[in-house]
Amino acid sequence: MAPPLLRLDQISLTFGGTPLLEDAGLSISEGERIALVGRNGSGKSTLLKIAAGMVEPTGGEIFRHPSATIRYLAQAPDMDGFANVRDYVEAGLGPTDDPYRVAYLLENLGLTGDETPQQLSGGEARRAALARVIAPQPDVLLLDEPTNHLDLATIEWLEQELRQIRSAIVLISHDRRFLENVSRSTIWLDRGVTRRIEQGFAHFEEWRDKVLEEEERDHQKLGRQIVREEHWLRYGVTARRKRNMRRLGELHSMRNEFRTHRHAQGVATLQASDVKESGKLVIEADKISKAYDERVLVKDFSIRVNRGDRIGLVGPNGAGKTTLLSMLTGKIEPDSGTIRLGVNLDFAELDQKRELNPDETLSHYLTDGRGESLVVNGEQRHVVSYMKDFLFQPEQARTPIRELSGGERARLMLARVLSRPANLLILDEPTNDLDMETLDLLQELVAGFAGTVILVSHDRDFLDRTVSSVIAPEGDGRWLQYAGGYADMMAQRKETALARRQVKSAAPARSDEAEAAPAPKREEKRKLSYKQKFALETLPAKMEKLSAEIAALEVKMADPALYTKDPDQFAKIAAEIEKKRNEVEAHEEEWLELEMLREEIEG
């Protein structure tokens, strides 16, 4: 294994009370791709800040290679003193770095570079920070939630970019699919201690569950052993004559270990409040349209939403997802067309903006200031009891919201939304800042909700696990509904694109008269970038080469004696085949999107 560029050993950190980090470690070698995972509040971001030199630990050793460059993606970038975004990003370059990468990254992240810091939204500032840390291609890249505020197309572009840069990467993300596609190793931070497996995130959850099961068995064994030792101490023949001091000391040690054992954090209890059933028809839209000035966001869109449907809205930032959602729920009127809402509808909505009063306490926010209790599912519950379902401690009832982490704020808003009786859940980016375990429960809630769900999300895995259909933009204000989740939508789009190409190639050549006829004047349209053209031309050859390599490796795997003679080589070849298949799939998706974009541009 290559020597580490950065190593943290036995890191400890405490702010008083229970230590945040007790025996944490992080070793990063050249070219590694590491997923850092753990519950909200477990110290993941703090560990990255220690690695970046921004926080000093209470104890432990830190080694940074003298020549290694390290970049950290800040959650709230400081852009003071910079005239525009381009200056901010270029300031992160070293003397030998390629300045042309700045323009390339800004273009792909949806920025021009001319924006001033005062003009930027939180999401745009985040993308500018992402461009700044990636542009110099540092030796070590520390990324804390890099997909926040990115749309699906940009997330998939970022995956490709991170796969091809030379930097070693450590990343924190709530996006399962992103972690699976980028990581090759996984570090789990749990109760202040880190554990590592040399496998990507796709293998993490199964491994984690086994570790926790073994830990619980060992803890129960320790409890039974203490009982046996206490029985010996009280009733053993030897004990009546004299105390065996060594054995007594071991008993004290076991008691202390059993008493101070930090159990794994519990899981939140998510349950939507029941309400009377809505009518069979929930929403009916007939040829609705909406435009702002000359920009058409929705054009002639029709849909019928029935009770029990679970619908996901996807698309680039600015495509009009929130506008379409607002029209469907009656918040804004369409310019043309009609919206009809069903009977007995009760809404519960998680808004994307998530504006909270930072001085309000958790108890006041959940009860709307109406005392110490609230009604959930027709049952009156004390606010502290309800808070525990969402992993809040009793003492946090009087805590101001400003003191909560991003993940805790997300859980608090979910707690409020789910306490409201509803048969129609409206969730706008519900997965932001949630940890994996809470995401699992939210998925189960959405998938099993008795009413109707409409949600907006950029989380591909969450969409695949929850929705029964997806609404996606097709350009020029047109939106289409696809059956199934996100992966199903991509497969249907791929089939449609192939069918279009087959029809186009089979179409008869135009007559001389038609060719001689002057072409109608067309509006000027955007062009493919140089990088997109190059990818469109070279991706088919890359896919063919990878397919040939996979076939050659499969021939080696076919040898029945290989596993017996050299199991390590067998495993290595199997892993290589899986890796190359993933690369082929990623290339296919990228080529398909570029081909569809080219067809749209060329008309």
Q: How do residues 506-530 score in pLDDT, each as one tens digit?
A: 665 554 444 544 544 444 445 667 6
Q: Are 536 and 598 in contact (CB under 8 A)?
A: yes
For the chain, which residues make up each domain, given as ranges?
4-206, 207-260, 281-489, 524-603
Architecture of domain 281-489: 3-Layer(aba) Sandwich (3.40)
Per CATH, is 524-603 categorized as 1.10.150.120?
A: no
Low-confidence ranges of the chain (pLDDT < 70): 1, 16-17, 219, 222-276, 352-354, 504-528, 530, 560, 563-564, 602-603
Provide the total of helices (H) and of strands (E) in the chain, helices listed first: 20, 20
pLDDT number for residue 589: 76
| Residues linked to residue 35 through DSSP beta bridges, in sequence order | 171, 186
Quote the CA–CA distance of 328 and 321 in Å, as a whole number. Answer: 11
pLDDT number for residue 513: 47
Per the annotation, binding residues for ATP are: 38-45, 315-322
Which tens digit of pLDDT belongs to each residue from 299-337? 999 999 998 899 999 988 778 888 999 999 988 999 999
Q: Are 7 and 28 in contact (CB under 8 A)?
A: yes
Quote the CA–CA distance of 250 and 414 in Å, as a whole number. Answer: 47
Which tens digit of pLDDT belongs to each residue from 345-383? 888 887 766 678 888 898 988 888 888 888 877 788 888
Q: State the fold for domain 4-206.
A: Rossmann fold (3.40.50)
| Residues linked to residue 381 through DSSP beta bridges, in sequence order | 374
**Which DSSP category does 2 fall into?**
P
Q: Are 113 and 86 in contact (CB under 8 A)?
A: yes
Query: Rounded to two decimals, what is the model's pTM?
Result: 0.66
Per the annotation, binding residues are: 38-45, 315-322
Same fold yes or no, 4-206 and 281-489: yes
Dump strand ranges (E) for 51-150. 59-64, 70-73, 140-144
Tokens 């990507």 correspond to: 200
Residue 184, Cβ density class (10 Å: 0-12 exposed, 13-18 middle, ≥19 buried): middle
Residue 209, Cβ density class (10 Å: 0-12 exposed, 13-18 middle, ≥19 buried): exposed
